[in-house]
Structure 1
Amino acid sequence: MKKIPLILMLGPQASGKSSFIKMNNLQNYTISGDEIRIRLNGINSNNGHPQINFVPQTESIVWHIFYEELDTRLQNKLPTVVDNTNLAAHGFNPINDILKRVPIDYQVYVIDCFKPLLNSKDPFSEKSLNHALKILAQRNHDREYSVNMDIIKRFVDYHKDFKIPDKVKVISSADLQQAQDIIDMVLNYR
C-alpha cells in the first residue's frame, strides 16, 4: 500500500522552509504555526520592517488550532507539510509530539533546511555556525516578516543538540533529487 507523505520542515527561522514550500507549490498542503499567529495576533513593526506579533498569552490557542488542523488532515488522509521550525530544547521534541498523532498509513519525512548552511566537515564549529548565522541574518532582513535575531540564535543552538527520531526519513533541502521525489509524492498523491 502506498504511504501518505507527511513532511516536517526543519530549521531555525529564515533557513528557507517557507521559501522551499513556495518554490515547490506546496502551500495548499501546508499548515504553519506562524500563519496561525498572524491570523490571531497580526503583524507589528520592528524598525519599519513587518514582524510576526508573538503574544505568549495566545500560544496555547495557536497550538490548539495547529493540532486541530493537523489531526483533521491526518484523519482525511491528506498529504501534509508542516512549516514550523520543529525544533525545541529542554527535553521537548515537537517531532515526537507529531509522531504520536500519525496513523500507520503515513510515511514521515524531515526536510532539513539548515544543514545546507553548515560546513559539511565540521557543521557545529564556531566558524560554521557564525557563517550560517550571517546567512540567516541577511535572509531574515530580506524576508516578508522578520523574527528577532535572538530567537533565531536560540533556535540555532537548539539544532546543535536536537535528535531526530529514527522512524522518520531525513533529507537535506540541498539534495535536489530526493527532495523532488518527496515533492512529487505530495503533488501526485491519490
Structure 2
Amino acid sequence: MRILLLMRGVPGSGKSTFIKEQGLEPYTLSADALRLLYASPMLDKAGRWCISPHFDKQMWPFLLQTLEERMKRGCFTVVDATNIRGRDMTAYKKLANEYKYRVYVVDFTDTTIEEAKKRNLLREEYKQVPENVIERMYAQLADNKVPSGITVIKPGELSQIWYKPRDLSAYKKVIHIGDIHGCYKPLKEYLEEINPQNYYIFLGDYIDRGSENAEVLQLLLQLAALDNVTLLEGNHEANLRDYGLPDGIASKEFRMQTASELAQAGLSRKAVYNFYRKLSQCFCYTYQGKKVLVSHGGLARMPENLSLVATAELIYGTGVYEDALDVDMSFAKHAAANEYQVHGHRNYEGVPAEVNEHCFNLDGAVEMGGQLRALELSEDGFVTKMIASNKLL
C-alpha cells in the first residue's frame, strides 16, 4: 500500500537491525546497498575496508528514481538511510504527495552516541564509519527537524501504521456496488437513497464507456462526504488523476467522451482531481464474525499484513486480467471459514456474482449491456443483486 517508512538515526543506531528483525528487508531501499552497486568496498588511508562515498552524487538520484518507480505501483517502501537533514526528507515528501503516500519516520535518535559508537565497531569492517562521522551527524540533529506532514514514531510503535480491519457489525447491512462505468440509471434505480443504518462500499471504475459519466461523478461527489460510504480506486480512476494534473495525459477513450461530459456538466479539473485524491486503495472489515476483503481487482489470498500489498495489485488484481477465476479459486483454497473477498474489474469468463463460497465478482459488464452488480451482507448472510434495463433482477 502507499506507505513510505523512513529510518532516521546515525550509523550504529540500530536501523538496519530493526528492518531485519521486522522482516522488512524485501521492501527496503538501502543507501549503502546502492553504494555497493556503484563500487565494491575499497581501502581507506588507514588500510581498512569501507564503502566508497565517492559515488553519492549518482547514488541519491538513483535512489529517488527507484523510489518513484515503486511509488507508481503503490509499493510499501522502507528507506534505510540516516535521513538526518530535513531537506532530504522534503524530497521524499514531495514524491509522497504526488503519489498519495503516507510518510512515517522511525526515529532512532534516542540512541546515545556512546552506544552508536559501540555498535558501529561490532559491524563488519567495511560497514563501519569513522567515529568523527557519527559525532558530526549527532551535531546535525540539533539543527534538522522532521518536516511537517511526516509522522514520527518510535521503533516500538511500528504496529500503529499497519492497516487494521474495521468492525461494521453495528450496521444493518453492508452494501457493495460493483463497476459502474458511467451507467447512472441502473445505479440510481438501485440506490434511491442512502440509509444511515447501512454501510456502502463502491468498488471503483466509476467512469468511461457509459454515457452518464457526469451524473455518476456528481452523485459520488456528494456521497464521498458521508461517514458510511467508502469509495475505492479502480484502474479507470487514473484518468481522473491525469485529467486533473496540468501535465497529465488521460486515455484517448476518456478524452473523447468522458472529459467532454464532465466539462459540460461544469465539473472542474480541480474538483475531479480532489475526488480522485479521496479514493481508498481497498477496504477490509469484520461483520458479525465474518472478515471481508474488498478491492477493485481481487487477491489470491487474504494477506497477513494488507499494508505490504502494492496498490497496483489491489487495483488490477493478482496476476493478469485473464486470471480472475484462478485467483478466486486460490483465495477460496487458502481462506479460513469466515474469510471472504469482494472485487470487480475483471470477469473474463463471465462468472456469476457468487464465484464460490468465499469470493464475489461484481463486474457485470453493465456498460456492455450486462448488469450492475451489488452485494448485500446482513445478519442473514450474503445476497447478490443485479440491475439491468431499469429492472431489479
Amino acid at match of 1:15: S
Matched residue SS, 2:142: helix
**Separation of aligned partners in 2, 1:42 and 1:59:** 14
Aligned to 1:31: 29
| CA 185–162 in structure 1, closer or farther in 2 if over 3 Å, else same | farther
2:2/2:71 contact within 8 Å kept? no
Q: Is the 8 A contact 1:9 1:81 kept in 2?
A: yes
* SS of the residue 1:161 aligns to: coil
Contact kept? 1:86, 1:94, Cα under 8 Å: yes
Secondary structure of residue in 2 paired with 1:65: helix
1:43 matches 2:22: no
Which digits, 9 at most, give the CA deviation of each residue in 1:138-180, with x for residues without a partner? 100001310111111111111122111121110112xx2x213
C-alpha distance in structure 2 between counterparts of 1:41 and 1:152, whole Å: 23
Deviation of 1:105 (Å): 2.3
Q: Identify the residue that residue 19 of structure 1 maps to in structure 2.
A: 17
Could you tell me which residue of structure 2 aligns to residue 99 of structure 1?
A: 93
Opposite residue 14 of structure 1, the aligned amino acid is G
**Structure 2: how far apart are the matches of 1:152 and 1:185?**
37
Amino acid across the alignment from 2:40:
G
- Structure 1 residues 186 and 84, CA, compared in 2 at 3 Å: closer, same or farther? farther
Say whether 1:137 aligns with 2:101: no
CA distance in 2, matches of 1:7, 1:134: 26
Equivalent residue, structure 2, for 1:114: 109
- Per-residue deviation, 1:25: 0.8
Q: Secondary structure at the match of 1:54?
A: coil
TM-score (normalizing by structure 2): 0.39
CA distance in 1: counterparts of 2:20 and 2:58, whole angstroms: 26
Identity, in percent, stands at: 29
DSSP-derived class of the 1:22 partner: helix
Q: Shift in Å at residue 28 of structure 1?
A: 0.9
Distance in 2 of aligned mates of 1:23 and 1:48? 32
Higher alpha-carbon Rg? 2
SS at match of 1:109: strand
Partner of 1:161: 143
**Alignment partner of 1:182 is 2:177:** no
User: What is the CA distance between 1:182 and its match in structure 2?
Assistant: 3.0
Change in CA separation of 1:188 and 1:78 when aligned onto 2, cut-off 3 Å? closer
Q: Secondary structure at the match of 2:149?
A: coil
Q: 2:69 aligns with which of 68, 72, 92?
A: 72
> Which letter does structure 2 place at the counterpart of 1:69?
T
Number of aligned pairs?
A: 165
Q: Give the equivalent residue in structure 2 for 1:52.
A: 51
Matched residues in 2 for 1:158 and 1:185: separation? 36
The list of structure 1 runs, each at least 4 consecutive aligned residues, that deviate by more than 6 angstroms after superposition, is: none
Relative to structure 2, which stretch is displaced further, 38-47 or 7-16? 38-47
The answer to whether the Cα contact below 8 Å between 1:36 and 1:62 also exists between their aligned partners in 2 is: yes
The higher relative CO (CA closer than 8 Å, separation ≥ 6) is in 1
**2:6 aligned to 1, 5, 8, which one?**
8
Shift of 1:13: 1.1
Note the residue ranges of structure 1 that are not aligned, 5 or more in a row. Answer: 118-131
Distance 1:185 1:152, change over 3 A: farther
Distance (Å, rounded) in 1 between the aligned partners of 2:57 and 2:128: 22
What is the identity, as a one-letter code, of the residue corresponding to 1:21? I
Question: Are the counterparts in 1 of residues 75 and 308 from structure 2 also a CA contact under 8 Å?
Answer: no
Tell me the alpha carbon deviations over residues 45-93 of structure 1, each in whole angstroms, 9 at most, x when there is no partner.
56676421221xx2221112111111101111101001011113xxx61
Q: Decide which structure has greater helix share.
A: 1
Go from structure 1 to structure 2 and tell me whether the alpha carbon gap of 1:22 and 1:151 turns closer, same or farther (over 3 Å shift): same
One-letter amino acid of the counterpart of residue 105, structure 1: K
Q: Which of 131, 154, 167 is the equivalent residue of 1:149? A: 131
CA distance in 1, matches of 2:18, 2:147: 23
Q: Is the 8 A contact 2:89 2:146 kept in 1?
A: yes
Aligned-residue CA RMSD (Å): 2.1
8 Å contact 2:75–2:309 — kept in the other structure? no
Look up the match of 1:62. Answer: 59
Over residues 14-41 of structure 1, what are the superposed CA-to-partner deviations in whole Å (9 max), with x where a residue is unaligned?
1111111111111111112211111212
Counterpart residue number, 1:129 = none
